[in-house]
Structure formats: structure tokens, C-alpha cells
Amino acid sequence: MQFSRVITPVEVIEIWNASSNGFSFVICYESRSGLGLQGNPGFVASWRPIYQNRFAVKVVGSPFKTLAAAEQACEAMLRNLISDIPYHQSVPEHLS
């Protein structure tokens, strides 16, 4: 899964996203102060199913100290999510 930086009109907001196997992942950087997203300092990761109208779920361990740690947690979450999908419900490769 390859994360890409989301370009926003507000340069101080740092957001990355990636999707795979029917799941969307977002990582954002939060801080207690400044112009960006407010919250506990660090990289907050979340996921949600792409093909269902559901809310995002925070990845366990967020916020992470580094972007790399958040990406690794998302990869682990994806492996866990995929292992829970019954074979007949898996998303076709061309849709992921």
C-alpha cells in the first residue's frame, strides 16, 4: 500500500491517504498548537471500508511518533481486515 500526500489549500495541514482491497486509510499529523489539525501530537491513522457508507475507525496506537510507524500500523490493520473477510466477499483486484 502506497501512501500519497494530499494537497490541500491550507499548506500546514498534513494528510496522506492510501487504499487497498476495498479499504481506505488516512494519516494526518496533529499538534496541540499551530495552524494545522488540533489534537494529541503525532500521526493519527484511521481506516474505513470504501464501498460502505461507514465512519472512519482510528487505528489502534494512534497517534504515532513517525509517519513510518503510522504506515506500518495501517499495513498491519489491512492484513487483519483482509484475513477477516470471507472469500466470497473479497473485493475484486481491479476494484481495489
pTM exceeds 0.85, yes or no: no
Q: Kindly tell me the burial class for residue 40, based on how many C-beta atoms sit within 10 Å of its own C-beta (0-12, 13-18, 19 or more).
A: exposed
The pLDDT of residue 8 is 82
26-32: Cβ within 8 A, 24+ apart: 26/56, 27/3, 27/67, 27/70, 27/71, 27/74, 29/67, 30/63
The pLDDT of residue 2 is 93
The pLDDT of residue 35 is 66
Q: Cα separation of 30 and 71, whole Å?
A: 15
Tell me which residue of 15, 16, 14 sits closest to 3, measured CA to CA. 16
Write down the domain spans for the chain. 4-83
15: cell is: 494528510
Q: How do the pLDDT tens digits run along the chain, 96 residues long?
A: 899 999 888 777 899 999 999 999 999 998 887 766 777 889 999 999 998 889 999 999 999 999 999 999 999 999 999 987 655 354 444 444
